[in-house]
Structure 1
Amino acid sequence: MASSTAQQLLRLLLLSAFAFCIAAAATSFRPKALLSPISFDASTSLYSISLGNKYSLLLDLENSVFWIDCVHPPYSSSTMSLARCHGAVCNMASVCNSLICDGGGAPGCATCFGPPSPVCQNSSCSPSISNSAISTSTVSTLWTDTFSVLSTDGRNPGPIVDVPKLPFACADDLLITNNSVPAGVVGDAALSRAKIALPSQLAAKLSLKRKFTYCLPSTSSGKGVLFFGDSPIVFLPSIDFSNNFKYTPLLTDPSQPDSYMIGITGISVNGVKLKIDSDLLKIKNDGTGSTIGGTIITSTERYTQLESSIYDALAREFKAAANARGIKDAPAVSPFDTCFDASTASSTRIGYNVPEIDLSLKGSGGVVWPIFGANSVVSVQDDKVICLAFLRRKQYETRAVVIGTFQQQDALMQFDLATSRLGFVPTLLGRMATCSNFNFTSV
C-alpha cells in the first residue's frame, strides 16, 4: 500500500514538473515577429487588421494612438490600468501628424462631468485620437492593458503572445459611425512613427526590430498580411521576398513628424520623363509655420492624388503612349477622367498591357518604383472600360503627391523606423504570388 502511494506521489511530482516546464517555456517565448491578417472592404475601400483575433481595427498610417470604442459594448478588463496625466505613458502620447499636432506638449488632464467609465475619468491622460478615413479627431482617455497578438516565423502563424501594459485610448463611437469604417471595426490601429503608436510600442514590449511590413490584398475575398518586427516574408508557393526590397529614405517633415514622407525626384511614362515643376516635389515651408509639397504615403485614400499640373502631365503622356499601342479612348467615368476601351488592351501577368509609370525616388544609385497595369489602371463598367487610377488632389490637400492604396495593393511595403527608410517590392504578381498567398494555417 505504501509502495502504491509512493508511486502515485512520484507520478504527481513528474506531472507537476512537466507542467512547470511547459509554462516556463511559454513564458520565455520571445517572437521575432508578430502577425495580423488584413481585410479589404469593397464598400468603403478601406483596410482593417485583426489584432489577436479579437479586435478589428482600421489600418491607419496617420493615426498615432491605438484606440478602441469602449462604449459599445462597454470595455472591461481585469488588467487595464489608467494612465495618469503627467505620467510616463502620458508624456509619451505627444503626437503630430496631418490631423493632429499638439506642438510637442504632453496631453492634458481630463475632468469628468459624468459617472466614471473607461471614457470618463478625472485626472486621466486625455490624448487626441483620429480616424484618417474621415479626417476627424477627438479626445480620449488613455489606459494600458494586456493584448494578445499572433506571433509568426514569417511563413505561418505561431503561438499567441500576450503584450502587457500596451497603451491604448478609450473613446466613444464618434469616429466609427455613419458607415465611415468597414463593418465590425471597433477602433484604429495606429501605425504612425510616433513613440506611442503600435509599431514602436510592440517593438519595445517584446524586443522586436522597429519595423513593420504590410501587403494589401486587391480583393475582399482573400486576406493580406501585416508583420511587426523582422522575419522572412514567405508567400505560397514558398517564395521568400525578404531580400527583394528596394529602399528609399523616409523623410521627416518638421510640421508633422509622425507621418510617412518619401522623396519623388521625377516621374516617367515608358521612359519619357514628365515635364513638371520639381519644386512641387519638395517639402517646404508655406510661410505660416506649416509645410506644403512633397509626397506622403496613406492607407486610407484609395487612389494616388497628384497636384493638378503633375496629373495633367501624367494623363497626357499616358494617353499618348496608350494610343500608340492601339489602346482606344473611352468616355470618362467619374471620378476618373482618363479612360480607355478595355477590349483594345491586352492582359498580362502584371495587369493590362498599358504604358509603365516609373516614380524615381531618392536613394543611393537611383531607386525606381515601377507601376504596371495592375496598379496603374482600374476596371470599371463591368470591365468594359479601364481608367488611369490617379486623381487630381483634393481641394484642401497640400501635398503634391498622396500615394494611395490601389498603387500599393499586391506589393510589399516595409516601414523601417530604426533606419528611417521605406522598403518596397513593387508587385508580387510577376512571381506568381499575391498578397492573399500568405499561409495562415498553423503548422
Structure 2
Amino acid sequence: MAINHSSFLFLLLSIFLHFFLFGCSEKIEAYKFGELTANLQHQSHVVSLKSLMPSGVCSTQTQGSKTSSGLLQVAHKNGPCSSLKKGNTKVPNFRQILIDDQTRVKSIHSKISNHKDPLADSAVKIPATSGQSLGTGNYVVNIGIGSPKQQNTVVFDTGSDLTWIQCQPCVVQCYSQQDPIFNPSSSTTYSNISCNSVACSQLQSATGNTQSCRNTCIYLIQYGDGSYSQGYFGTDTLTLSSSDVFPKFQFGCGENNQGLFGSADGLLGLGRDQVSVVSQTSRKYGKLFSYCLPASTSSTGFLAFGSQVGTSSTQYTSLMTDSNNPSFYFLTITGISVGGKNLGIPQSVFTTSGTIIDSGTVITRLAPAAYSALSSAFRRAMTKYRTAPAYSILDTCYNLNGYSTVTIPTIAIHFTGGTDLNVDQSGILVQASSTQYCLAFAGNNASTDVEILGNMQQQTFEVVYNVASGKVGFGAGACK
C-alpha cells in the first residue's frame, strides 16, 4: 500500500514531539523532585537522638588543612578524650549547668549598658576543651608559663580580659587543681609589676576593681557567681607552641582563689582590653584568633591564633562595640528563620537589646519577643511530638520516649552584611533527661537585656574574630 508523503511526514513529526515532550516531562519532574528535596533539607534536620547523648569513646579529628606543630588535640573536660582527671571535681548535672549559666548571664546583664554605640570601623593552634568555669560549661586550653615552662590548663573566655593562674604560696587559699600549682620562684623570668607603673594603672579596666599597692601591683577579679582570684600582677614568658613564645606577658599570679573553676589552673582572657591575650600578642597575630567548639563531648575542638584553620568559606558580619563595655564582642542580629521561613521579627527588637557573642554562656539568650516568635514557630513544626514540662530555663520541651530519630526544623540567625548562621542540629535540641529534649534557646527577662549568642549555637563552626578589621566570621563544618 502506498503511503502519502505528507502523512509520512506528519507521522514522523508526531513521534518526534512525543519523545521530546515525554523526555522534557521527565526532566521537569526530576528537577521538581530535586528542588523539593533541597527545600526539605533546608527546612528540617533528621536527628538521631543517640547523637545528642554522651559517648564513651574518644573520636579525634584533624582541624582544617593549615596544620602545624602548634596544632594540639584536646577534648571535652568530662568526655572520654579529656586529659583532666574526673576525680578532682564533681561533674555537674545538666540542671546545675543551666542554673550556673543563668548566674553568668545575670552577671553579664548587670555589666552591660542598655544603650549601644556601634563601632565604625604564621598561626598557632592550641586545644579547646569544654570545662566548668564561672559555674558554666566553658572551654579550656593548655598554655605554658615561666622559664622553664610550667604547663597550665586554663579556661578561655571571650568575656574576660585578665589572664591569671593559681600561684604558690597560697597565702590565703587555693582550690584543688590537677596540675602542680605554678611556682614563680622556680621561673627565672618571673617578676612582679610595680604599683606605680602604667601597666598597673590600666589594670582596673580589665578587672573592674581599684588596685592596691604594696610596692607591687595587687589585682582582684570577681565573677558573677561569687568566684574570685586575688594576688600579684606580674610578668613571665607565655608559651603557646615551640615557636610562639612571648616574653614579659602580663598576668595575675593568684594566691587567694576560690570558685567554680573545676580542676583548671586559671583563666585565659580573650576580651578586647589592653591586658588581654588578644592585645598582648597583637604584634605577632594581628588581633586575629578563632575557635571551633565540638558538637560532642567525645570530639575535639581547637583555638587558633594568627590565621583561620578551616577551608570552608566564611561569612563575616561587622564587629560592634559598646563604649561603656568595650571588652565585649557585639554583633547585630537582623532576623531569625525557622524551617527556612523568616519570622519577620521587627529590627527594633534586636537593636533595643543589642547582642554579644560569648564563649562562656551555654544557652543563647534572646529578647522576649524574639524568643516568643522562635518558640512558637518551633512548636508549630513539632506538633507530631508529645510536649513535656519546662526544664529549668528551657520551656519548649518534648517527651521523645520511644523515638530513635526525630525531624526538627532548621534554625538560622541572620546578621548584618547578609551573614547567616545556620545553627548545627547539635545546637537546636538538647537532652535534658533520659526522655526529655528541649529547644536550646531561652528568653531574657526584659527587652533591654543584652542578647547573648551562646556556645551551643556556635558548635561545629570556626568562629573567626578579626578584631583589627572589625569583623566576626562563621565557617561551617570546622569540627564535629
Same fold (TM over 0.5): yes
**Distance change (3 Å), C-alpha of 1:193 and 1:74:** closer
Against the structure 1 CA distance between its residues 315 and 418, is the aligned structure 2 distance closer, same or farther, given a 3 Å change threshold? Answer: same
- Which amino acid in structure 2 is aligned with residue 190 of structure 1? G
What corresponds to 1:330 in structure 2?
388
Structure 2 stretches lacking a partner, 5+ long: 1-68, 72-121, 145-149, 175-180
Change (3 A) 1:30 1:269: closer
Counterparts of 1:243 and 1:427, CA distance in 2: 7
Going from structure 1 to structure 2, the CA distance change for 1:327 and 1:344 (only over 3 Å counts) comes to: farther
Q: Percent identity?
A: 27
Structure 2 counterpart of 1:46: 138
Alignment partner of 1:379 out of 408, 428, 431: 431
1:260 is aligned to 329
Q: Which amino acid aligns with 1:95?
A: S
Aligned counterpart, 2:248 = 165
Q: Which amino acid aligns with 2:410?
A: E
Structure 1 runs not aligned, ≥5 long: 1-28, 112-121, 151-158, 234-240, 284-292, 435-443
Aligned with residue 216 of structure 1, among 273, 278, 293: 293
Distance 1:417 1:345, change over 3 A: farther
TM-score normalised by the chain length of structure 1: 0.69
Aligned residues of 1:48 and 1:182 also touching (Cα < 8 A): no
More helix by share: 2
Q: What amino acid does structure 2 have at the position aligned with 1:304? A: T
Q: Which amino acid aligns with 1:167?
A: Q
For residues 140 and 398 of structure 1, do their structure 2 counterparts lie closer, same or farther at Cα, with a shift above 3 Å needed? farther
Deviations 1:217-262 (A, max 9, x none): 233333311001125x1xxxxxxx2452110011011110010110
Deviation (angstroms), 1:392 = 2.4
Q: How many residues align?
A: 342
Q: What are the equivalent positions in structure 2 for 1:389-408 lying under 5 Å apart?
A: 389-393=440-444, 399-408=449-458
Task: Describe the SS at the equivalent of 2:362.
Answer: coil
Deviations 1:297-352 (A, max 9, x none): 122221111232322221111110222xx3443343334221124368775xxxx5
Task: After TM superposition, list the pairs within 5 Å mapping 1:43-442 onto structure 2.
Answer: 44-52=136-144, 54-70=151-167, 71=170, 72=174, 73=181, 75-76=183-184, 77-95=187-205, 101=208, 108=211, 110-111=212-213, 122-131=214-223, 134=225, 140-150=231-241, 159=242, 161-174=244-257, 176-177=258-259, 180-183=260-263, 185-204=264-283, 207-230=284-307, 233=309, 241-282=310-351, 293-323=353-383, 326-342=384-400, 347=405, 353-363=407-417, 366-382=418-434, 384-393=435-444, 399-428=449-478, 433-434=479-480
**Hey, what does 1:5 align to over in structure 2?**
none
CA RMSD, aligned part only?
A: 3.0
Q: d(CA) in 1 for partners of 2:195 and 2:256?
A: 23
- Contact 2:424 / 2:459 at 8 angstroms: preserved in 1? no
8 Å CA contact retained: 2:160, 2:270: yes
Answer whether contact 2:131 2:155 (CA < 8 A) is retained. no
Partner secondary structure for residue 233 of structure 2: strand
Deviation at 1:94, TM superposition (A): 4.9
Between structure 1 and structure 2, the one with the greater Rg is 2
Deviation at 1:198, TM superposition (A): 0.6
Q: Distance between the aligned counterparts of 2:439 and 2:470, measured in 1?
A: 31
Contact 2:70 2:126 in 1 (8 A): no
Is the partner of 1:65 in helix, strand or coil? coil
Q: Determine if contact 2:70/2:124 at 8 Å carries over to the other structure.
A: no
Please give the alpha-carbon distance, in whole angstroms, between the structure 2 residues aligned to 1:250 and 1:322: 35
Offset, 1:131 = 4.3
CA offset digits 1:19-52 (Å, max 9, x no partner) = xxxxxxxxxx999122221112379522111114
- Contact 1:44–1:182 (CA under 8 A) maintained in structure 2: no
Q: Which has the higher contact order (CA 8 A, sep 6+)?
A: 2
For the 8 Å contact 1:39–1:220, the answer to whether it is kept is no
* 80-89 or 314-323, larger mean C-alpha shift: 80-89
Q: Which whole-Å CA distance do the structure 2 matches of 1:126 and 1:30 have between them?
A: 33
Please state whether the residue corresponding to 1:319 is helix, strand or coil: helix
CA distance in 1 between counterparts of 2:447 and 2:188 reads: 43
